[in-house]
Structure 1
């Protein structure tokens, strides 16, 4: 499957508005396309096509692709070129397990360090998230849910831990979206977030760690439901 891009003129304008070097701007643009699912796992990303599409030389394109290989978003396959990385089931479960530990640690530290303003902001986001469930707007729910987790990372008042958590969350974005849209998952998310918020408001680090890690982890039926719901193209067979 070859990557499909939008209007070429718009692509060029988007790249020029970013403000970094050409390689950095293209890297960021492609990363966003991968995270959003516009470039799904298994898509072929062609160097020549990108250079023509964005009207730039192939040198910054190569630099951007190399950077995305380093962060795991792309992989070079013999006879196939650059491909958006697909993840095997064992690796996917391992990554979710690691993500659960990272999220739990951020929540634990937030329970110790979050300001009154951050606690109030978490509560406000939770109210908006609940309202979006009633409206049945899945995309709005997903965006607001992202806000909740971003604030959770900020409230941990860390640099390295929050950066690593965000990076792994991006790698899992396409897969997480499939989980979010499963039947009953949005309502369950509200209840799970409530436990996280309560633990942070009460200043209970251990309860916050447990609530946040359980919110992200895939155990039992949750694991089976995820695998069953994922399109085959998102998973690596071998």
Structure 2
């Protein structure tokens, strides 16, 4: 029996089967955020299995991810429908994320170990090089790790879970704003303020820097929605 995984048209080489759902969800997320998939449009399981060349299992997993990230809703007797992405909804998510990140930053600035501060600074230097080179995909992946390190440094599992849940919902929008080299450079400048505050163990300054960082990201995303 062949161990090769079927490929989705235009998707390039797909990862192993258990990762199919992630690939499919990312593709559908991008189409919803860009408007290619309209609010109210049904995400038909059968049609998607044909489109991506996979069984229904990864399709159902991908749709579950979309629902969890508020990009789609389950409607009785209709199935999974593309959610309406309103400006107000995005503003609310960014507002909540800004407050959670600010709280995590304040706590992390006090609790982060010396080795963690050194590692965060090293990561920031690598990200600066990525931003200068215009390596958006690498920067995006490193950006997730940057914020995750701050969340983990709170030493609070409930805050970590809440922060990661909100970040997952906002991920499709934040991903789109980092495709701009201008925004990537600005994001990196904002990270400099955050890292310097953490290195100084200044909880209040870290809190303020993270809140400004999220406001800046929200402004970029909302300008694209407009």
CA distance in 1, matches of 2:146, 2:60: 35
**CA positional deviation for 1:34:** 4.7
Count matched residues: 211
TM-score normalised to structure 2 length:
0.75
Which of 140, 161, 175 aligns to 1:177? It is: 175
User: Mind listing any 5+ residue stretches in structure 1 that lack a counterpart?
Assistant: 19-24, 233-238
Which of 59, 70, 73 aligns to 1:72? It is: 70
- Structure with the greater relative contact order (CA < 8 A, sep ≥ 6): 1 or 2? 1
CA distance in 1, matches of 2:117, 2:152: 11
CA distance in 1, matches of 2:132, 2:62: 41
Asked whether 1:55 is paired with 2:55, we answer: yes
**Structural mapping, 1:14-93, within 5 Å:** 14-15=16-17, 17=18, 26=21, 30-34=24-28, 37=30, 39-41=31-33, 43=37, 44-50=42-48, 53-56=53-56, 65=63, 68-70=66-68, 72-76=70-74, 81-93=79-91
Q: Is the partner of 2:70 in helix, strand or coil?
A: coil
Q: Does the aligned pair in 1 maintain the 2:71–2:85 contact within 8 Å? A: no
Asked whether 1:204 is paired with 2:202, we answer: yes
**CA positional deviation for 1:65:** 4.1
Q: Is the partner of 2:32 in helix, strand or coil?
A: coil
CA distance in 1, matches of 2:59, 2:136: 34
Summarize the Cα distance change of 1:125–1:14 in structure 2 as closer, same or farther, 3 Å threshold: same
Partner of 2:130: 132
User: Mind listing any 5+ residue stretches in structure 2 that lack a counterpart?
Assistant: 1-7
CA distance in 2, matches of 1:228, 1:111: 31
CA distance in 2, matches of 1:162, 1:6: 37
Which of 211, 214, 222 aligns to 1:213? It is: 211
**CA positional deviation for 1:132:** 1.0
Asked whether 1:159 is paired with 2:167, we answer: no
TM-score normalised to structure 1 length:
0.72
* Alignment root-mean-square deviation, CA: 3.3
Partner of 2:4: none
Q: Is the partner of 1:217 in helix, strand or coil?
A: helix
